[in-house]
Amino acid sequence: MIRVYYILLKDTVLLSKKDYIHWRTIQTEFYDTYIASLGPWTQEELISYLEADFKNNENWPFTKMAIKCFFESDDLVLYS
């Protein structure tokens, strides 16, 4: 099952399929722009979070289609 991290940086938001051991590992990777990270989440969990957090799909950092395509791809990172 594919799981992703939802990572908030100062200048962007990204999804990552990398297998991080701890949130501090993410913080170290993005040391100069890291704000927060959530996950790892399945596609359904991520969409549920975005629906609850943003309410309006137009404000999401990623479209549902972009999320679906990312989960189906071999890409490791998706930037907003």
pLDDT tens, position by position, 46-78: 999 999 998 788 899 999 999 999 999 999 999
What is the rounded average pLDDT of the residues 6-15?
Answer: 97
pLDDT band at residue 45, thresholds of 50, 70 and 90? very high
Give the pTM. Answer: 0.93
Domain count, the chain: 1
- In sequence order, which residues have a C-beta less than 8 Å from that of residue 3 and are 6 or more positions away? 17, 39, 40, 41, 42
What is the rounded average pLDDT of the residues 7-26?
Answer: 96
* Contact call for residues 35 and 24 (beta carbons, < 8 A): no
* Contact call for residues 50 and 36 (beta carbons, < 8 A): no
Containing structural domain, residue 56: 4-79
Average pLDDT, the chain: 96
Per-residue tokens: 80: 């907003």
